[in-house]
Amino acid sequence: MVVKNIAVLFSGSGSNLQAILEKIHNKIFNGVKIKVALLICNNPNAKGIKRAKKFGLETIVINHRDYDSREEFDQALVDEIKKHDIDLSVLAGFMRILTPVFTDNIKAINLHPSILPLFKGANAINESYNSDMKIGGVSVHWVSSQLDSGEIIAQKSFARKHKSLKEWEEKIHKIEHKLLPKTIIEILAKGK
């Protein structure tokens, strides 16, 4: 049996981490078993840490506040990931800007709550909602040295209709919880 190990990096609620744990962790796709082998969080108070515990998984906290520079923080992330036999790192709500120390050394994908290249950055949900776009959406892309700019792997859009901000946000999360696990499967088990 081929086993592919993923690392999941997150910063907050961890609902996407939970979707990964429920939908793909220790499951077999196309003869490939996908395993969440490493969890890293930069925020010691993140709700995601508790979610992971419910699945019997411990999270390694690497707090960015303990480092003097982005590069030193990124080196700590790289060192931890390299200690494990990781095939793919997944940024699932990991709210740190990464330097080439990370991006040149780690094969990673990122989840973003807009139709990239529109609404890059940390406020994509509000900015896309407050725009005059008739659609919103979600993207998964390869991580590159430029913020939210690597090659797009998967996208899904939805119609604005008359959604409130809360409904807009809920729709984004509902799509994310399907699109991110599906994309991981496609990369690791279907060679996309």
Q: 55-71 burial string, b = 16+ CB within 10 Å, else e?
A: eebebbebebeebeeee
Residue 136 as a binder of ligand GAR (CB under 6 A): the answer is no
Residue 110 is assigned to a ligand binding site: yes
Q: Which of 39, 42, 37, 110 is nearest to 70 (CA)?
A: 42
Residue 97 is assigned to a ligand binding site: yes
Which residue from 3, 5, 12, 32 is in contact with ligand GAR, where contact means CB under 6 A?
12
Residue 15 as a binder of ligand GAR (CB under 6 A): the answer is yes
Closest to ligand GAR by CB, 44 vs 82, is 44
Residue 13 as a binder of ligand GAR (CB under 6 A): the answer is yes
Residue 98 as a binder of ligand GAR (CB under 6 A): the answer is no
- For residue 36, what are the CA distances in angstroms to 4, 74, 180? 9, 20, 14
Question: What are 29's two structure tokens?
Answer: 């796709």
In whole angstroms, the minimum distance from the beta carbon of 114 to ligand GAR comes to 8
Residue 126 as a binder of ligand GAR (CB under 6 A): the answer is no
